[in-house]
Amino acid sequence: MQNCRILFFLVFCLLCSGCASHTVTNHLAQAQSHISHERQNNTQNTQDSMRATALETVLQSLDGVTDCCVLIDGQTAIIGLHTNADTMQAHQNLTAQAQDLALQTDAQLRIISVTTNDKIVQRIEAYKAAKI
């Protein structure tokens, strides 16, 4: 009876240790995959940030634009313009010019949203500041 208990205990320990080893291996593989994915995201974020900075420089050359803020994520750009335009028509013209210039400057962009609304531009700037 004593031998049976010892044998049962050894088999139990062997089974438990085998499962634990497999679980640790899976967690390690998941962690490595997560780290690799984070590196790819960081690289993409850095490239998007550099593209946004380049586009900001170009957009500030537009007549009527006093300052701007650009966020880029892949093929999408959100552009906020501070302007000295005083009419709705002037705002619409600047918005159209900014959109055209963005398409000419960055060929990867497919979706471009431009705003001259001060509150929305401030939100874009706050988001960009928090992201950096």
Q: Determine the average pLDDT of the residues in 40-48.
A: 76
Q: Which two tokens stand for residue 132?
A: 């950096």
Residue 131, number of CB atoms within 10 A of its CB: 9
For domain 43-131, give the fold. Alpha-Beta Plaits (3.30.70)
Instruction: Provide the residue ranges of all domains of the chain, joining segments of one domain with +.
Output: 43-131
* Residues 84-108: tens digit of each pLDDT: 988 999 999 999 999 999 999 999 9
Q: How many residues in the chain? A: 132
Residue 57 φ/ψ, nearest 5 degrees: -60, -45
Instruction: Answer for the pair 98, 62: CB distance below 8 angstroms, yes or no.
Output: yes
Helix, coil or strand: residue 39: helix
Using DSSP bridges, classify how beta strands 111-115 and 65-73 pair: parallel, antiparallel or unpaired. Answer: unpaired
